Amino acid sequence: MTTIELKPRPRLPDWLRIKLPTSDTFAQTRSLLDELKLHTVCESAKCPNHWECWGKGTATFMIAGDRCTRACGFCAVSTAKPLPLEADEPLRVAEATRRMRLKHIVITAVARDDLADGGATHFRRTIEAVRRLNPKTVIEVLVPDFQDSDSAIEQVLAADPQIFNHNLETVRRLTPSVRHRATYDRSLSVLKKVKARRGQTIHTKSGLMLGLGETENEIMVAMEDLRAAGCDLLTLGQYLQPTLKHLPVVEFIPPEQFAALGRAALALGFVHVASGPMVRSSYHADEFDASAAHC
């Protein structure tokens, strides 16, 4: 990974300031997650929205542990030798979904390059467990690239999630310095394979972080590449530096520019676009009605 010079983080603009929760729901959500010993990307990735999401009684479950085999320059998840998979974790995620009465669940995971299937079978088992206990819940998965393995992708698809999300994260030029071991074309290939295998029976989704030094033209090219891969749903959000050891923010993108990019994305043919400074892959994911939208 590229060596990063430690510099003071720039002051956040007003549009990126958040209010802490005041409801009891936040504490109840934390208590439930602790009781069931579940990880969330909300905490592990230091998501700035987790106060709001937990305050609403929603969370993005992170399966397969909280130790990643990759060291991406933007991500706060720990890089370390992973622990063995927990066989009962799928059931615990399903139980949390039931207790939280989730109509839409997002399941993600660390990269598990140490496993032959990259953790794909664990994804399938989790999806199946959630569906058995919560048959009406919309299931969205946010997966690593599985090193573009056909068999791993098919393992996840065999469980029939309604939304298959894999993030492109950044533009082609910046990918080598932003994403450890991942490649721009591999991510596009994963999304393209999913659409080729399931067509209109599944929604594919991806996201870009802005503010890493990309140009507007590069953003447009990335969005066009995603559409060419059959991607239906798009999120655009502001990159925020988790710690001083991570990639610095090059630019804070104002809300009006996010709005313009969102309009441009819709004009390219995306079915649904969430574009704004605080948007993340699973932020307000439940606002998209997968049953009503057409791919």
| One-letter amino acid of 252 | F
Residue whose structure tokens are 């919309």: 138
Residue 80 has pLDDT above 60, yes or no: yes
d(CA 31, CA 190): 36
What pLDDT score was predicted for residue 10?
72
Q: What tens digit of pLDDT does each residue of 129-167 get? A: 999 999 999 999 999 999 999 999 999 999 999 999 999
Q: How many residues does the chain have?
A: 295
* pTM recorded for the entire structure: 0.88
CB 50 within 8 A of CB 42: yes
Q: Which two tokens stand for residue 231?
A: 């991607």
Q: What is the dotted CATH code of the domain comprising 22-287?
A: 3.20.20.70
Residue 2 has pLDDT above 50, yes or no: no
What pLDDT score was predicted for residue 235?
96
Residue whose structure tokens are 């397969």: 64
What pLDDT score was predicted for residue 1?
42
Q: Poorest-confidence range of 13-17, 105-109, 226-230, 269-273?
A: 13-17
Q: Which two tokens stand for residue 30?
A: 């934390």
Q: Which two tokens stand for residue 117?
A: 């299937």
What pLDDT score was predicted for residue 204?
97
What pLDDT score was predicted for residue 286?
66
State what percent of residues in the chain have pLDDT above 90. 64
Q: What tens digit of pLDDT does each residue of 191-245 get? A: 999 999 999 999 999 999 999 999 999 999 999 999 999 999 999 999 988 888 8
Q: Poorest-confidence range of 78-82, 220-224, 256-260?
A: 78-82
What pLDDT score was predicted for residue 128?
98
CB 172 within 8 A of CB 208: no
Average of per-residue pLDDT across 51-64 = 70
Confidence band, pLDDT 50/70/90 cuts, at residue 75 = confident
